[in-house]
Structure formats: C-alpha cells, structure tokens
Amino acid sequence: MGDRPQRDRRAARVTEWILRIAIAIGALGLAARWLPSSRAVAGLLYLDHGWLGEGAAEAVDDGLFVVLAAAGLLVLRPRWRFGLLIAGLLALLISVATALRDGAWPAIVPVEQAVRYVAPLALWLWFDRDGRTRPDLDAMLVFLLRCGVAATFVGHGLEALHHNPRFLDLVFAASRRCLGTPIAQANAEALLTAIGVVDLIVAALLVVVRWRAVAAWMAFWGALTAASRMVHSGVGAWPETALRALNCGAPLALVFAFTLPRKAPPPVGDVA
Amino acid sequence: MTAPRTPFPIPRRGLIGFALGALAAVGVAIALLAGRSASAIAESPAGTQPHHVRVVWTESPKDSATIAWSTREPGATHRVLLDREPRAGDRARYERTVVATRNGDYARLPEEASLAFHHAVVDGLQPSTTYWFVVESDGVASPERHFVTAPADTRAFALLAGSDSRSDRAQRRAMNGLLRARFEADEQVIALLHGGDYVYDGLSLELFAEWLSDHELTTTSAGRVLPIIPTRGNHESRGELFDQVFGWPGGPVGRNWFACRLGAETLLLVLNTETALGGDQADFVRDSLETARDRRWLLASYHQPAFPAVKDPSPALEHWVPLFEEYRVDLVVESDGHVQKRTVPIRGGRAGPDGVVYIGEGGLGVRQRSPDATRWFLQEPGFARRGHHVWRIGIGADAIELEAYGEDGARTDAARISGKRE
C-alpha cells in the first residue's frame, strides 16, 4: 500500500519534467521565431497603430524576447516556478497580439495556441512555494491540461475542416518529399477534412474519458505535425517545430498524469 | 494535528492576476477592433452619382478591361458609354454602350453604411488605343475619363509597381500623388501593378472606400485613368471585398490568380499567397510558364515574399521559386515587408548571373521598416533601404530597366536585367 504513493510521485515527476522540457523548448522556439520575423508585438505597436516609433517598438520586442528566452531556460531549473509564469503570460501575450493582426480567422488563434499558455500556468499552479508538486492538486493539473490540449486540437481541427491554405501546403510538401509523389489538391483537401474530423473526435474523447491511448495518439500527432514544418521549409524552420513542442509534450504528459489518483489523498495526520 | 486542506486549493492571487491580465488583453482587443473613424462612405456623393471610378486589368488588357465604380444607392440601370474619340460627356455621341453585368452591395462590417459596386467588362478593344468613357447609373453620369489599352506588339512599355498602401491616408495620398506625377511624365507607363494590402482591415468597407477615393488621385489632370493590375494581400485575407472592388480578378475567393499578357513578349503571373501555394496554383504556374516559352519576358507578382528583407520566407520559396528558376523567370515583384529591396539574381539558393531578381516590398503608404542588411541576397549588387517608394519596370527589346523612386520623387535605385531568352 505504501508503493502507490511512491508510484504516483514518480509519475508526477515524469509528468512535471515532460512539461518543463516541452515548455522550455517551446519558449526558445517562440523566441527564435519571434525576434527575426514575427514581431507581432512590434507590428501592433508601430506598424498597425503608430503608438511607438520603429526603434522603440522593436526594443519592446527585443526585451520581451530576452525575457522569453530567459524564462525558457529558467523553466528547467528544478523547483523554480517563476519562469513558468513568465513563459505562460508571454505565450498568451503573443497569441493575443497575433490574433489582433491575423486577418483570416483571428478568433481561432488563442484557441489553437491554448496549450502554449495553459500548460505553463497549470504547472505553475501545481507547485507549492518550495517547488514541489502538490498531490492535492493533481486533479487540477490533469483538468487544465486536458482543457488546453483539447482546445488546441479543436482549433487545429476546425482549421483543417476549413482547408487552411497553410495546412494544404504542408500536405503538398510532405507528399512530395516523403512519398516522392505530388498529391492533387482535391485529395489533399479530402485528407484535411478527415484530419479535422479526427482532431475534433480525439479532443472530445480527451475531455470525456481518461484514456491514455487517446493522449498517446495526440502526442504522436502533435509531434508529426510539428515536424511537418521542417519537412516543408527545411532545417532552418526549426523554430516553427520547436514552438509547437507542447502540442506533443502536453498530451504526452497526460499519458503519465492519467495514472495519478483522481481524488486528492487525505491530509496527513487526520484520524478517521 | 494539521489544518484540513480545502479541496482544489489554488493560489488565489495568481489566478486572479492571470484572469485580470486576460480580461485586460481582451479589453484591449475589443477597443482596437471597435475603434474606427467612420466618414468615407458618409462623404460619398448621394444617390446614384458614380464615384470611385477605376479600370482593372487582368488576363488580356490589350483587348479587355473591367470598368468599375460605386454609388451610394444601388440603383437599377448601370452602363459604360465608350468611344475612341472624346465626346465631352455627351452621352448621345458615344459609339458603344456596355451594360454593367455585376452589381451589388459591397460586403461591410455591421456598423458600416452601405455602398454599391458596379462592374462592366468591356471586350473587343483595340490594343494601344485610347478609349474615352463615362459611367452612368440611373441616368446620372460621371465626368468623362479615358484610358489606353495595353499594346499587342513589341513596343516598349512600363509598369509602376508597389504595394502596402494600408491606412495612413496622408502618406497614401502622397504616394498616389507620386504615382500620378510619374504617370503624367512618362508616356510609356501603362498600368499600376499593386501587390496587395490596400488597407489595414480588408473586411472594412469604410477603409476600402477611403482607398478607392484616394486611388482616384492617380488619375491625371487630363482625366487619364491609371489601370490597376490587382494582387490579393494578407490584409485582404480571404474576404470578398477585394473581389467586389476589383471584379473577381482571376476567379472567386480562394483563387485570384491569373496570367496577364502584356505586349507580344511579356507574361506577368499574378499569384495569390493567401491561399494554398502548392496544388492547383502551383500547377497553374507550371502550365503558364510552360506555354509561355516563346515569351521574351517572364514576370511574377504576389504578396508574401520568398526572399524577404525583414520577415521569414513565405511558402513561395518552397512551391514557386523552383518553378521560377526552372523556367528562368526574369523578375518577381514581392510585397508585405514594408521596405524597398532588390535582390541579387538568385538561382539554387545563391547568387547567380542568370538568376531571378526579386524586388519589392511595399512602400505605397504603410509605415516603413528597416531591412535586415545582413541577408545574403541583399548584398551588393543587391540593395535595400527603408522608405516609401514606387518601382518603375520598363520592358524594352533587350532589357528590363528597373528604377525606384522615393516619396520625394528622387530616384533611389536603378538596375538592368538582360534577357535570358531570344
């Protein structure tokens, strides 16, 4: 009977470190992509609204980049929570800034990027002040991760059903480079429709049932789709793959987190 | 005995702080999206007085053009009166009448006033010919204007090229003044190739109405209209306003790509980076270039750059650049970066003497960025600078002459591209 708490805390540690590593990789990928090209915050401040001059707006972006990169590294420090909070808040800020500048479907951006800010927050909340995971908050962690991962799959699933042009281009490139044969647009669109349906189904399953197989499939699919960015654009597109680390890491963490008890253990010292 | 723990205890301060931050972000988003000054449509002439008159070129400008205009009220009958001689607006004397076959209300945001569009597709024109016209809605006519069709022979001509007008009206109007000045001073200029991003929010009719009013500033003092060859940009996104303004160039939303034949020897591919670049569109690029092997000059225009001076490469690098190099395209006009740039000739991912030159990247009004001068394709003989600009692309017998002009009218860059094909 004493083995169960030990197994649970081992599973908790594995869950914690999968998330830490994925958050760190995601933060570094986001910083690496953000600074040279995306500059969503600078675009908002300077180009779109002229609130700041170009230099000042880019200085804000540069500062946020440094903070984000530092947070990504700090996430790996055991028992440190602060980096998680910063990484999560900056991921949320970038998501909102990107949505404000996205003409096609702005509302979907925070949904499909949900895991990037929900996972760090969930991990931050899971720790006590000494940086140890709290068994009484295991259920909260699992709940938040399920929501974040499900939202991300819902967002991507809806984009796939709408035949997002960028998704189509990924399919074209993958077919040409991996299978050695081009795929007709009609077939690529049909494939995206099927992918979208599957994404929505697994998102619903993740919320409704605690099946490790579903989480494992989502981890596999998250890794595959993240890697597709480098298949499409080459090794230089590694930030696009890295910033999607949580698309794989969060459901993978759930594979282990699903073994944690559903209910909080009784407080130590209570006598029935 | 320890104090009992509350179920699902969460650090309250942290959650409250996060929730407040999220609410603030949403509030900022709503404020930004809601804040918009509304005046352009209200300033439009009342009733069915035609305004926003424009000429749009797509596949065959030597013998076809779309003449488009707007009216406040939808009206019932809309037509273009056309002649090869000026008629001073005497509608009874025009030799030809073309009915506007596409009429409707522009798409708009819920809080915006309505405005109607009208398109008349005029076919059977003679190349290199001046056509004088008035547009008429429910009996109310515009002042007489004229335009010149594209050539069908090998005579030299020029295009003005630019993009990213966006929504700084003062700056955009200044650049339109520069366009008019170049158009008036240069007999060879036949059209404006616009690379997209006409306004900040392509779903806003108010903003597009402002753009349409400002675009009329490119008409010369003598009433000559500068035809426009339109490209869809990311700020037009996948909205229908772009099609309603420019007459569904190249097809409905999701397409908007076409091959424009200019003169006897020039093919210009106008492509759409706001839809899938592979698949059908890549097939179109390949097929068009394959059937144009007899053309001396091959050009392409699209919005998001493959060789950007600031941003990351768009999927055009993966899906189109290999085709451009296979078929030895001469010049590609790119946009979106808000800088002025001209790359070295590029082939196989490096500088090469018979490579493809890429120019751009959007200086018709939007705030300009500083280019990343360390990028290999911008090193000499390439060039990049920060500043509003318009390109002049001169197509001649032996070479393409490139010139860029800053907002003060001074020339900021010049280059020459020699022919790759006999």
Q: Determine, for residues B276 and A104 on separate chains, whether the beta-carbon distance falls below 8 Å.
A: no
With an 8 Å Cβ cutoff, is A232 touching chain B?
Answer: yes
Query: Is residue A108 one of the residues assigned to a domain?
Result: yes
Q: How far apart are CA B400 and CA B416, in angstroms?
A: 6
How far away is chain B from the Cα of A172, in angstroms, using its nearest Cα? 6
Query: Is residue A270 one of the residues assigned to a domain?
Result: no
* Chain B CA closest to residue A93: B25
With an 8 Å Cβ cutoff, is A92 touching chain B?
Answer: yes
Tell me the mean pLDDT per 10 residues along chain A, length 272: 68 93 91 68 77 83 82 82 88 86 80 95 89 88 96 97 95 92 95 98 96 97 94 89 96 94 62 45
Query: Is residue A264 one of the residues assigned to a domain?
Result: no
* Chain A CA closest to residue B309: A37
Q: How far apart are CA B251 and CA B178, in angstroms?
A: 31
Q: How far apart are CA A142 and CA A257, in angstroms?
A: 6
* Chain A CA closest to residue B10: A125
How far away is chain A from the Cα of B326, in angstroms, using its nearest Cα? 17
Chain B residues in contact with A168 (beta carbon < 8 A): 276, 278-279
B336 has a pLDDT exceeding 80: yes
Length of chain B: 422
Q: Determine, for residues B237 and A104 on separate chains, whether the beta-carbon distance falls below 8 Å.
A: yes
Q: How far apart are CA B56 and CA B198, in angstroms?
A: 15
Say what the pLDDT of residue B1 is. 47
Domain carrying residue A75: 4-257
With an 8 Å Cβ cutoff, is A5 touching chain B?
Answer: no
With an 8 Å Cβ cutoff, is A238 touching chain B?
Answer: no
In the structure encoding, which two tokens stand for residue A235, read together?
Answer: 């090794």
Q: What DSSP line would sit under B354-410, residue for residue?
A: T-BEEEE---SSSPP----TT-GGGSTT-EEE-S-EEEEEEE-SSEEEEEEEETTS-
Nearest C-alpha neighbor of B64 from the set B157, B156, B118, B127: B127
Q: How many CB contacts within 8 angstroms connect chain A with chain B?
A: 112
* Average pLDDT of the residues of chain B: 91
The sign one gets for the Cα dihedral A74, A78, A82, A88 is: positive
Query: Is residue A48 one of the residues assigned to a domain?
Result: yes
The structure tokens 């929505």 sit at A200
Query: Is residue A271 one of the residues assigned to a domain?
Result: no
Say what the pLDDT of residue B164 is. 96
Selecting from A47, A125, A232 the residue whose C-beta is nearest the C-beta of B10 gives A125
How far away is chain B from the Cα of A60, in angstroms, using its nearest Cα? 15
Q: How far apart are CA B181 and CA B194, in angstroms?
A: 17
Report pTM. 0.90
The structure tokens 């229908």 sit at B240
Between A263 and B112, the more confident residue is B112
- Return the residue in A30, A41, A47, A118 with the most chain B beta carbons within 10 A, the one to mutate for interface testing: A47
Contacts of A207 (CB under 8 A, 6+ apart): A146, A147, A150
* Chain B CA closest to residue A42: B369
Domains present along chain B, CATH in parentheses = 51-148 (2.60.40.380), 157-418 (3.60.21.10)
Chain B residues in contact with A172 (beta carbon < 8 A): 276, 278-279, 282, 319
With an 8 Å Cβ cutoff, is A21 touching chain B?
Answer: no
B35 has a pLDDT exceeding 60: no
Query: Is residue A267 one of the residues assigned to a domain?
Result: no
Selecting from A54, A168, A270 the residue whose C-beta is nearest the C-beta of B370 gives A54
Query: Is residue A129 one of the residues assigned to a domain?
Result: yes
Contacts of B373 (CB under 8 A, 6+ apart): B384
pLDDT class of B328 with cuts at 50, 70, 90: very high
Residue B334 near residue B360 (C-beta atoms within 8 A)? yes
Say what the pLDDT of residue B340 is. 98
- Return the residue in B286, B318, B336, B374 with the most chain A beta carbons within 10 A, the one to mutate for interface testing: B318
Q: Determine, for residues A185 and B319 on separate chains, whether the beta-carbon distance falls below 8 Å.
A: no
Q: Determine, for residues B274 and A168 on separate chains, whether the beta-carbon distance falls below 8 Å.
A: no
* Chain B CA closest to residue A268: B2
Mapping DSSP to helix (H, G, I), strand (E, B) and coil, where does residue B83 land? Answer: strand
Chain B residues in contact with A136 (beta carbon < 8 A): 5, 7, 9
Q: Please give the C-alpha separations between residue B46 and each of A65, B119, B215, B354, B414, in angstroms, as whole numbers.
A: 51, 19, 20, 55, 46
Number of domains within chain A: 1
Q: Determine, for residues B318 and A169 on separate chains, whether the beta-carbon distance falls below 8 Å.
A: yes
Say what the pLDDT of residue A264 is. 62
Between A272 and B302, the more confident residue is B302
How far away is chain A from the Cα of B289, in angstroms, using its nearest Cα? 19
Chain A residues in contact with B275 (beta carbon < 8 A): 165
Residue B149 near residue B102 (C-beta atoms within 8 A)? no
In the structure encoding, which two tokens stand for residue A114, read together?
Answer: 């949900």
Query: Is residue A266 one of the residues assigned to a domain?
Result: no
pLDDT tens digit sequence for B394-419 = 999 999 999 999 999 999 999 999 98
Nearest C-alpha neighbor of B240 from the set B118, B116, B368, B107: B107
B356 has a pLDDT exceeding 60: yes
Say what the pLDDT of residue A35 is. 60
Q: What is the ipTM of this complex?
A: 0.85
Chain A residues in contact with B237 (beta carbon < 8 A): 103-104
Chain A residues in contact with B5 (beta carbon < 8 A): 136, 264, 267
Q: Determine, for residues A104 and B25 on separate chains, whether the beta-carbon distance falls below 8 Å.
A: no
**B 317-346 residues with CB below 8 A of A?**
317-319, 338
Is the preceding peptide bond at B187 cis, omega within 30 degrees of 0?
no
pLDDT class of B11 with cuts at 50, 70, 90: low
* Chain A CA closest to residue B167: A48
With an 8 Å Cβ cutoff, is A104 touching chain B?
Answer: yes
Q: Determine, for residues A184 and B279 on separate chains, whether the beta-carbon distance falls below 8 Å.
A: yes
